[in-house]
Amino acid sequence: MSYADLLKLRPGVTFNAEGEAQVLVWAPKAETVQLVFGKSQQPLALEKHPYGFWVLHTRALWPGDRYGFLLDGEGPYADPATLHQPDGVHGLSEAFDLQRFTWTDKAWQNPHLKDYIIYELHAGTFTSEGSFAAIETKLDYLLQLGVNAIEIMPLSQFAGDRNWGYDGVFPYSVQHSYGGPGALQRLVNACHEKGIAVVLDLVYNHLGPEGNILGAFGHYFTDKYNTPWGDAINFDDAWSDAVRHYFVQNALMWFRDFHIDGLRLDAVHAIKDLSPRHILQEIRQEVDALSRETGRAHYLIVEMDLNDTRYVKPADAGGYGMDAQWIDEFHHALRVSSGQERSGYYSDFDGVASLAKSFRDAYVFDGLYSEHRKRTFGMKADGIPGHQFIVFSQNHDHIGNRMLGERTSRLVSFEMQKLLAGVVFVSPFVPLLFMGEEWAEPNPFQYFVSHTDAELAEAVRKGRKREFAAFHLDGEAPDPVAVDTFENSKPQWHLVTQEPHRTMLSYYRKWIALRKSQQVLHECDRNGLSAEAFEEKEMIVIQRVWGGQHLVAFLNFSKTVQDAALPFGHLTWRKLIASSDVAWNGPQDMPEQADAGTLTVPAESITVYVNAISS
């Protein structure tokens, strides 16, 4: 088999229609590689191929068999491309046939990104059971909310049963405590049957520390670069061809074999690659080829600590071709506008002035000097459409990376919470919610792990303390290894029927319905938008125009009423929503209609009008 042919195969164990297993392992460090499986553990030798690949075709290995590899007689090691680790990261792999599942989603079409209402969740804490099967029971709830896309935090096998997911050590696997690969296929199929897309959070910048055996097989890591979380993945050093193959095939697997609709790639600024073709470009090209085969859109979304449009520009414009990116700066400016503390990386943001700029320009720092970074940072995002930016008032990072993991419901008033939600939905960007946000869940979302190595667990505790030192916080963070930390991070579903949570849920449903029904909100158009900040009033006035519809939104972040002017004297304005209305447990109803002139806007509120001729 030629080198080029080898690079077309999926790593690990795959089964053909006749039940024959094909085994592909990259182990250039080994002189011999043997497969051991079943009760007899009788080894089968793999055949060596170019560039350190080893191949075996056998009818002796069946789905459900436990197996591993001997490297020069040492081991057995789990499969680097294992799909299932039923006994955890330190156990053997279980052979799994991805083709056995019967999909019923042939009619499914992935919505356009501008249509997405994303709901981020953690599979282990979203429900009391902490399983994929339990998530299925909540799909009707999500439909009633108006969500049409869920984003699941990383699922690759990690040590123990409790983890955010960013310590995964087997990128092809599906966490056993959530139900494994078969249960994930069933969940995705169920989502598609109900009209819900599925985005999966993936980590391609590092692997976790416990159970990480890839280095025993090959040169998966490089010391050319560093990441804050572990050894850098080898995307451009010696032997990197096979590493790139491993991760490209991984991305394709999620789309092809699990019918995932989008991948959210974590912290891509920590993916170091100086190759002529960046690994993200290579993934984009291969995913596009898959889309031509499947006829479906497969989205690539990135999180990055860089205001660099190269990531989201198409390849023919010199970019990496990612479909969208998270915009942390919108969140930071929104948080500071709400009166929360300006410590750490929040210190760069000037409240409503920064938020208005993010409305207009996406990036707050687009060539400006950053005092926190002590350098000029970012570039202009001109010409990048709004649907390529994803915004939020909360997500797992900005809750869980607080020392106590407090949600916004613990940090600001009920009125301010409604304002923050409205800001996200009135933006020209794609909105994302974090689980439980929509009913003002009071439980925290704290950082948790279940490392079995005592020294590693202690290192995590100390690392968290160092991280909070940058925010000048005193006290002790909850023990990330304690079971209580995990259990306390679960949303309380019974609250959705109790006040004031029931009202907040109704408020979110209303906003989502407006986002879908009002074209001026639905279109992620950055051109027909103005955002003017009134810093002395702590207020922003947003205007958006689409077709014949004109919208004006008053965002009052202050604790006092403020006067504002409705534009255009010849128009009568119709209220879309006002967070201060009594229906939302607010202090006063805003007028259903208003003519141009002065409007009194309540404290900590968002009020939205559209012109009457568009109704």
Catalytic residue ranges: 266, 303
Report the distance separating Cα 591 and Cα 552, nearest Å: 14
Q: Which pairs from 557-562 meet CB under 8 Å and 24+ separation?
A: 557/337, 557/338, 557/339, 557/351, 557/352, 557/416, 557/419, 557/604, 558/603, 558/604, 559/603, 559/604, 560/603, 561/600, 561/601, 561/602, 561/603, 562/534, 562/537, 562/538, 562/600, 562/601, 562/603
**Amino acid occupying residue 373:** R
Contacts of 479 (CB under 8 A, 6+ apart): 461, 485
Among residues 335, 390, 394, 328, which one has the least CA distance to residue 122? 394
Give the per-residue SS3 of 488-541.
Answer: CCCCCHHHHHCCCHHHHHHHHHHHHHHHHHCHHHHCCCCCCEEEEEEHHHCEEE
Among residues 39, 26, 7, which one has the least CA distance to residue 71? 26
Q: Residue 76: is the preceding peptide bond cis (ω within 30°)?
A: yes
* Cβ–Cβ under 8 Å, residues 222 and 214: no
In degrees rounded to 5, what are phi and psi of residue 463? -65, -40
Reading the block at residue 534, the tokens are 């009134």
Q: Residue 263 forms beta bridges with which residues?
A: 200, 300
Query: 597-601 and 562-566: which strand pairing?
Result: antiparallel
The sign of the torsion formed by the CA atoms of 254, 77, 235, 150 equals: positive
Under DSSP, the state recorded for 104 is -
Report the distance separating Cα 249 and Cα 259, nearest Å: 14
Under DSSP, the state recorded for 199 is E
* Cβ–Cβ under 8 Å, residues 158 and 169: yes
Report the distance separating Cα 209 and Cα 227, nearest Å: 13
Q: Residue 500: is the preceding peptide bond cis (ω within 30°)?
A: yes
